Structure formats: C-alpha cells, structure tokens
Amino acid sequence: MSATPKLSRRPYLLRAMHEWVGDSGGTPHVIVDAGRPGVQVPRAYVKEGKIVLNISTSATQRLALGNEWIEFDARFAGVVHHVKVPIAAVLGIYARESGEGMVFPGEDGSPEPPEKPPAPEEPTRRPKLKVVK
C-alpha cells in the first residue's frame, strides 16, 4: 500500500474564502510574503517585505487560484503587471470592508510565530485591524 502525499489545505481554504468574501459583497485581499522564492509582484508596492493584493474579479484579469500558484494580471498605477505568487507565500486573506478573513499557518502546520511580542494594550481599548497597502 503506497502512502499518498499530504495535500496542503491552503489552496482550498484560499479559494473558499475568496468565494465567500465575493459572495458577501466584499473585496478579497491577500497578504503575501514578497521575500519568498518565486513571488513575482511589482516591487515598488512591497512594504516591509509584504504586499497586499486585491484579488477580486473586478480588479484582476485571468485570475487563476490553483493548488500551487495564484496568477493574474492587474493594474498598478495604471500599468498592467503580471502577478504570480506561490500559494505557500500567501499569509492570509481578508475582506477589505470588514477585515474578516483567515491567517494561514506556517509550512509545518503550526501558526507562524509573531515577529516580536505584542505590547500590552490598555484594558479598555479593543484591538483594531489595520490594512497595509
């Protein structure tokens, strides 16, 4: 009996969240680790090693959400760029309007550790999601 290779859940969850956000009237955005090998994005829009991409059907042409890659053409400041991102470089997907979404775990299935410990917040303040463009 041969063992079947373990399939990543990430591309399936990404497609499901993309569909859910769109069906809910939202605009799906992905956060990408632009430093990962194979990431082809306009470098001028990379901030702190990450880029946020609008992957709505109205903002992209020839959008393909495959098992290995996200690929599409999109305009950045009026110039069409071909974007190609390995699924493993996608850190999360969310709806621009509500911030609802999903963060993907690291390669080994565990959540990625935070870069630095979060500073304690005042007990009366609620955390806020900030969209980085």
Q: Which residues of 22-40 are buried (b: 16+ CB within 10 A; e: fewer)?
A: beeebbbbbbbbbeeeebe
Q: What pLDDT sits at residue 130?
A: 72
Do the domain assignments include residue 122? no
With cut-offs at 50, 70 and 90, classify the pLDDT of residue 48.
very high
Q: What is the pTM of this model?
A: 0.75
Q: Is 11 helix (H, G, I), strand (E, B) or coil?
A: helix
Q: Which tops the pLDDT comparison, 113 or 20?
A: 20
- Is residue 57, in this structure, part of any structural domain at all? yes
Q: Which of 30, 43, 13, 103 is nearest to 71 (CA)?
A: 30
pLDDT at 79: 93
The total domain count for the chain is: 1
Domain presence at residue 78? yes
Supply the CATH number for residue 86's domain.
Answer: 2.30.30.220
The pLDDT tens digits for 102-131 are 998 765 444 444 444 455 545 555 666 677
Please work out, in degrees rounded to the nearest 5, the angle formed at the alpha carbon of residue 11 by the alpha carbons of 111 and 89: 55
pLDDT at 125: 59
Any idea which residue has 């974007």 for tokens?
83
Q: How far apart are CA 92 and CA 29, in angstroms?
A: 8
| Sign of the CA dihedral with 132 first, then 75, 87, and 57 last | positive
* Average pLDDT value for residue range 44-56: 95
The pLDDT of residue 7: 79
